Amino acid sequence: MSTQLMDEQARKLLELAAQQTEVKGRSLWSDAWSRLLRNKAAMTSIIILALMTFAVIFGPLIIKAIYGFTFDYADWNQISAAPSIASGHLFGTDAIGRDLFVRTLYGGRISLLVGVVATLVSLAIGITYGATSGFLGGRADNLMMRIVDILYTVPFIFLVILLMVFFGRNIVLIFVAIGAISWLDMARIVRGQTLSLKGKEFIEASRAIGVSTPAIIRRHIIPNLLGIVVVYITLTIPRVILVESFLSFLGLGVQEPATSWGALVNEGAQEMESAPWMLIFPGVFLALTLFCFNFIGDGLRDALDPKDR
């Protein structure tokens, strides 16, 4: 009995020891993740953004369930009403009596959606273009990068304005147009990274032991590209949101009664003397979102770049 117990204990101890001596692999990602966790600004930003996304998706539904306000419901008794808990208009109402809280959240849906979709468009173009250019190398690479250089000097935002003027304010067009003008950075970065990876010893080594090209791309090139791409995604999203807000502010973005943060800021700026809340709430939501994305982008860059440890 006692020997059996001793055996049991000994085995448990051994197992415990084995667990501890087993070397835990530290991948680039787990390293980066632990560094990101230590970055207070970035972590706070992630939490705020998560809350923001949640609010933007479910907020309008909740408000509708409690107060019955929707983004295009006009409360004629409450025109340009100040924020108040009693009336249920927590952020006040706009010039035709629509609840500003719902509209701010609803506008956030559009702004965030544009941010994500347009970034995906730019990602698709940028990665394909950059990786092709980097992988082909030589004259093709030269030509492709020359084209990017030339495109860099074109003030695209003006062309997007032109597009909006001529083809009307179509939300799909906004997605595509903004995505199509913001892929240049991504292409350059991906191309540079691909070019430098192609010549690395570990790629050569995997070639030498007979790994196929698709496997090399999958196992070595893409994971190494991923870090920098993730950083640029988080930096492209706020830029894209800003472009959309800029267009909406000028009255060239989404159309009434749909709205976005830029359009709301525009309405707010016109009424700011009598109803400053119309400017302040959407403005704060927009700035806070951009702020968080920028901080996360910065934090990720620090976390994934082992040089600046």
Out of 279, 300, 303, 304, the residue judged to bind another protein by CB under 8 A: 279
> Between 179 and 208, how does the x/- string for binding to another protein read (CB under 8 A)?
------------------------------
- Name the token pair of 7: 């055996």
Read off the tokens for 153: 């000097």
Task: Estimate to the nearest angstrom the gap between the alpha carbon of 189 and the chain centroid.
Answer: 17
Contact range with another protein by CB under 8 A, out of 14-22, 32-40, 106-114, 283-291: 283-291
Distance in Å, CB of 298 to another protein, minimum: 8
Say whether residue 268 binds another protein (CB under 8 A): yes
Instruction: Name which of 206 and 294 has its Cβ closer to another protein.
Output: 294
Helix (H, G, I), strand (E, B) or coil at 74: strand
The distance of closest approach from Cβ of residue 26 to another protein in the complex, given in angstroms and rounded to an integer, is 26
Query: Rounded to an integer, what distance in angstroms lies between the CA atom of residue 280 and that of residue 288?
Result: 12
225 binds another protein (CB under 8 A): no
Q: Which residues of 135-144 are buried (b: 16+ CB within 10 A; e: fewer)?
A: beeeeebeeb
- The tokens of 266 are what? 């525009």
Residues in the chain: 309
DSSP code of 83?
P
* Number of chain residues interacting with another protein (CB under 8 A): 42
Ramachandran class of 275: left when φ > 0, alpha when ψ lies in -120 to 50, beta otherwise: beta
Write out the binding residues for another protein, residues 131-170 only, by CB under 8 A. 150, 153-155, 157-159, 161-168
176 touches another protein by CB under 8 A:
no
Helices marked H in 218-305 — which ranges? 222-249, 261-270, 277-304
Binding site for another protein (CB under 8 A): 150, 153-155, 157-159, 161-168, 238, 242, 245-246, 249-252, 262, 265-266, 268-269, 272-273, 276, 279-280, 283, 286-288, 290-291, 294-295, 298
